[in-house]
């Protein structure tokens, strides 16, 4: 008798949690956004906590979101990468599009310049920022996440940033671990 009641209780609590999580996801719109992205965010980030190092795969035109003008499927700031202050950041960029793209870290200020020049953090840009890296081309950037602040990873090819080809990048003095939210 007790066993049955306990099983019933577990079922009811479990059902409640499931409904609660589903309702929260629906409210946040996660369901639609997850379906839109071909892979989960963990695909794009590897963390080495002991070394305080984060490695990020940054794909230009990952799927067709925003007409291909996206990084890892994110555009117009709808993805956010957060890195603790002082951590080492390694970004491996690859262009999956038929047209050239690049990446450069800029302050989180809109409107974006049509053609960016200097990165907000030293070395936080790919080669050929303006001309772009061709189809399947790759480059890496390595920099230290400092100073704390709000930034954007923007495509530096003229017009692409203002067209929405940017995601958010936060250097946080409070964060204990990197996070990739989308």
Enumerate binding residues for Cu ion (CB under 5 A). 101, 155, 157, 160, 165
With respect to Cu ion, which residue has the nearer C-beta, 91 or 155?
155
Q: Answer yes or no: are the C-beta atoms of 71 and 58 closer than 8 Å.
A: yes
Min dist CB 84 to Cu ion, Å, is 28
With respect to Cu ion, which residue has the nearer C-beta, 92 or 175?
92
Strands 80-84 and 166-172 turn out to be: parallel
With respect to Cu ion, which residue has the nearer C-beta, 47 or 103?
103
Min dist CB 100 to Cu ion, Å, is 7
| Paired residues of 48 in beta bridges | 53
Give the integer Cα–Cα distance in Å for 79 and 169: 9
Q: Provide CB contacts within 8 A for 174, sequence distance 6+.
A: none
Min dist CB 166 to Cu ion, Å, is 10
Min dist CB 178 to Cu ion, Å, is 24
With respect to Cu ion, which residue has the nearer C-beta, 56 or 58?
58
Q: Provide CB contacts within 8 A for 71, sequence distance 6+.
A: 58, 59, 60, 62, 79, 103, 153, 155, 165, 166, 167
Min dist CB 165 to Cu ion, Å, is 5
With respect to Cu ion, which residue has the nearer C-beta, 156 or 178?
156
| Region of 164 on the Ramachandran plot (φ > 0 left; ψ -120 to 50 alpha; else beta) | left
């Amino acid at each position: 008798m007790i066993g049955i009641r306990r099983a019933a209780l577990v079922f009811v609590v479990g059902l409640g949690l499931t409904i609660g999580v589903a309702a929260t996801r629906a409210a946040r719109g996660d369901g639609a956004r997850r379906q839109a992205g071909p892979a989960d965010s963990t695909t794009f980030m590897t963390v080495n906590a002991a070394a305080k190092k984060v490695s990020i795969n940054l794909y230009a035109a990952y799927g067709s979101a925003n007409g291909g003008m996206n990084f890892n499927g994110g555009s117009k700031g709808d993805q956010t990468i957060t890195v603790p202050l002082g951590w080492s950041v390694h970004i491996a960029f690859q262009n999956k599009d038929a047209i050239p793209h690049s990446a450069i870290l800029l302050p989180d200020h809109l409107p974006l310049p049509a053609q960016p020049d200097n990165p907000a953090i030293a070395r936080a840009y790919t080669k050929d920022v303006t001309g772009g890296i061709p189809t399947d081309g790759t480059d890496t950037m390595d920099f230290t996440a400092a100073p704390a602040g709000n930034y954007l990873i923007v495509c530096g090819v003229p017009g692409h940033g203002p067209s929405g080809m940017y995601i958010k990048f936060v250097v946080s003095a409070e964060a204990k671990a990197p996070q990739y939210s989308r």
